[in-house]
Amino acid sequence: MNVFPIYNILVVPDANIYIKTDTYEKVTGRSAVADDKLVIVVAKEDLKREEFASDSFYPIGLRATIAEVNSNGFIMLRTSNRVNIDDVAVYRDHTIDLTISRRNDINDLDPEEARRKLYSVKTAMMKFSESFQWGQAARGFIAQWNSIGEAAVVMSPWMLSSNSERYAVLAEDSVAKRTELLEKLIYENLEMNKVNREAEHAQEEDHQKIYRESAIRKQMEYLQRELDEMNPENVTDIRKLEIKIEESGMNETARKEADKVLSRLKHEGQGAESALLYDYLDFLAGLPWKKEKPKDISLDEAAKVLDEEHYGLKKVKERIIQQIAVMSLKRQQSGSILLFVGAPGTGKTSIGQSIAKALQREYVRVSLGGARDEADIRGHRRTYIGAMPGRIMDGISKCGVSNPVMVLDEVDKLYGSYNGDPASALLEVLDPEQNSTFTDHYLNVPYDLSNVLFICTANSLDSIPEPLLNRMEVIQFQGYTPIEKLQIAKRHLLPKAMRSVGLKDEQLSVTDEAIETIITDYTREGGVRGLKKRLETLCRTEAVELVRGGSSSLTVTPENLRDVLEDHPIPHRHVPENARPGVITGLAWTPVGGEILYIETLLTKGTGKLTITGRLGDVMKESAQIAVSLVKSVYPDKAELLEKNDLHIHVPDGATPKDGPSAGIALTSAIASLLNGTPVSPAVAMTGEVSLRGGVNPIGGLPEKLMAAQRAGVKKVFIPSDNIEDLRDVAEEVRSSLEIIPVKEVSEVLNALELKP
């Protein structure tokens, strides 16, 4: 089968179409042969054979045969049915391969109606032809037409209608509607010709007035365009806006608003408001209004992209691949919105970027940190001075497509205020039921966000409002073990840092030991942000050294590390060697990862008062009170000690606020150790909430806490037995280096620590 792409002529089913033979030869590279079966394909762009690409074509074409090759330079094509162009492959040698399937019409046109309409068209054409010399000859020709389609095709060479208007006829499935479109084209173009020749006898029928109006408008547009092309330098700013609006492809509501504002702008002239109106129109017309076609995504390719750019994160990647699979199965966005939760520098934002790459989509990052106003999300009304679009539409405008991967950063840092709640506005953005008509106040017209893939990130779940959290599917980023960090540094961070300062591989080598020392002595974090910064500093210092010293290569080892990093090593949060009664190692979870902390207790002469210091929150203070009561009941004979003395509980590192119930067993053990005078090794750590009757309840953030314990050199950890399931999320390397003891009752801890009553 041969393919014949055409441009800017009207093609309809079941009609005769005349095409110049040389056009045919130019496009197909062959001479026409009668009975040649071919498919007419409607091309979208200018017809230049060498520039065809698969997206140069509209998705619906037409089947046709060459019925006749005329000696006067024309060939006649006989068209039959319409076809869907399912796939287009254009090869280097300019051959085109099509996969097509038949596209059926909806035959909803009443034959009587069709005849009536044809009759009207024929009458109008005959009247029209009267004003020409050849009018009389044309009458016979017109009388032979069997369908409106045929009439339109004959008129088509001098129609001013655009390529897309012509294509709209072909794309219409309903025969009745298609006929209406054809009628419109014919009448409009007839009117336009009359306007052209300043025909004085306007037909006074109602419908003709409407056609006349739209014909005049089209004529104006057409002439204006010609004028613009002749004098591009004289095109005014307003005219440029007009063109931008016309070409933007915006929906009807937006177009109405744009036209309204445009006419105000024209009246305003150089007035005060004109700059605002201009900015608005510029923003509106600059938005990506066109729908993007969904792409076929290979899961293997996507997995490869994710693996290339991020080391580790196995579970996260698996979950992302699942999401991509669901999306390509459903051929649309799947309803769930991913929420990446974890410490800073664990790769949440950057993996968002990789997802965009894997999906072959644009990426845009919108930071929500500090948004405290509904207008941050949804924009200000234009009546405000200094009104601006919200962050979401701003993001869409920046990335320039309607289907980006949009990473909404820091959704846990939204604050409500008297000016409305940004979280509820965000809820509307994320709700697939509502976001196809999201209306930014500044924009004032709905915009379809349903093709955007939203990914949210947060450091902690605590401050995310419940309704928002319910919409999202949480994926935890646990933080990296030192071994993983070493690999990330070697494979990604160091090469990137070297490239950014222009160092070549052979100019700088950093030993594994040096990187490990940076990880343990110069950073204290779950993610790799600090590590990245240190490596960048290191590369900068070495670049200066290379230029200054003239040596050809440098090596960084743990010994010379201190010279190349500007910072001091962070004092070791390593568990101390010696044990003292009343001090216990606890484990805490913070938004920046796990931490170890020491619970210190002391008895001083007094009257049974309890003093708690170290910026503890209410929940932790309550835990301390529970611990005191519990110890009194477990050691009745020591209770007197507590009554005759004051008990002081302190958790050092006073600058950091601490709260949460998970220090319960550590507090209890610390007081028990103090009262018994029995020291507990600092290499033993614990985490767990305690109830008043001594039960140990589960806690959150276990993986991060165990990682912190391992980092600090802890050997043994007590955890609530209800948290055993969470151990699956803990890296093997961490699990194997710790003795992990699950407990149900606080008494099990006390027994194990030999703090028996």
Residue 514, token pair as written in the block: 């040096």
CB of 494 or CB of 743, closer to ligand ADP: 494
Sequence-distant (6+) residues with CB within 8 A of 516 are: 482, 486, 558
CB of 525 or CB of 689, closer to ligand ADP: 525
Angstrom distance (rounded) from CA 209 to CA 207: 5
Annotate 710-722 with b (16+ C-beta within 10 A) or e (fewer). Answer: bbbebebbbbbeb
**Catalytic pick from 156, 354, 662, 669?**
662
Closest by CA to 83, choosing from 109, 108, 107, 57, is 57
CB of 177 or CB of 357, closer to ligand ADP: 357
CA distances from 451 to 291, 402, 436, 667 (A): 8, 7, 8, 51
Angstrom distance (rounded) from CA 75 to CA 34: 9
Classify residue 639 by its DSSP letter: H
Question: Taking the CA of residue 619 as centre, how many other CA atoms within 13 Å lie in the half-sphere pointing to its CB?
Answer: 11
Question: Token pair 């923003």 is at which residue?
Answer: 283
CB of 532 or CB of 658, closer to ligand ADP: 532
CB of 490 or CB of 632, closer to ligand ADP: 490
Angstrom distance (rounded) from CA 44 to CA 41: 10
**Is 705 known to be catalytic?**
yes
Contact assessment for residue 216 and residue 195, using Cβ atoms and an 8 Å cutoff: yes
Give residues in contact with ligand ADP (CB under 6 A): 310-313, 344-350, 457, 488, 492, 527-529, 532
Closest separation in Å from C-beta 710 to ligand ADP: 19
Count CB-CB contacts under 10 A for residue 652: 12
Indicate left, alpha or beta for 3 from its phi (over 0: left) and psi (-120 to 50: alpha).
Answer: beta
Contact assessment for residue 183 and residue 121, using Cβ atoms and an 8 Å cutoff: yes
E strand or H helix at 234, and its extent?
none
Q: Please name the amino acid found at residue 252.
A: E
Closest by CA to 392, choosing from 334, 446, 340, is 446
**Is 177 known to be catalytic?**
no
Residue 10, token pair as written in the block: 């009207």
**Catalytic pick from 156, 328, 705, 747?**
705
Contact assessment for residue 639 and residue 691, using Cβ atoms and an 8 Å cutoff: no
CB of 354 or CB of 623, closer to ligand ADP: 354
Question: What are 456's strand-pairing partners?
Answer: 339, 408
CA distances from 64 to 61, 87, 176, 227, 400 (A): 10, 19, 22, 38, 39
Closest separation in Å from C-beta 229 to ligand ADP: 48
Q: Please name the amino acid found at residue 22.
A: D
CB of 306 or CB of 674, closer to ligand ADP: 306
CB of 178 or CB of 310, closer to ligand ADP: 310
Angstrom distance (rounded) from CA 29 to CA 18: 18
Closest by CA to 708, choosing from 590, 587, 600, is 587
Angstrom distance (rounded) from CA 627 to CA 692: 8
DSSP-assigned letters across all residues of 403-465: S-EEEEE-GGG---BTTB-HHHHHHHHH-TTTGGGEE-TTT-SEE--TT-EEEEEES-STTS-
CB of 212 or CB of 310, closer to ligand ADP: 310
DSSP-assigned letters across all residues of 571-602: PP-PPPSS--TTEEEEEEEETTEEEEEEEEEE
Question: Token pair 């949460």 is at which residue?
Answer: 660
Angstrom distance (rounded) from CA 150 to CA 76: 13
Residue numbers annotated as active site? 662, 705
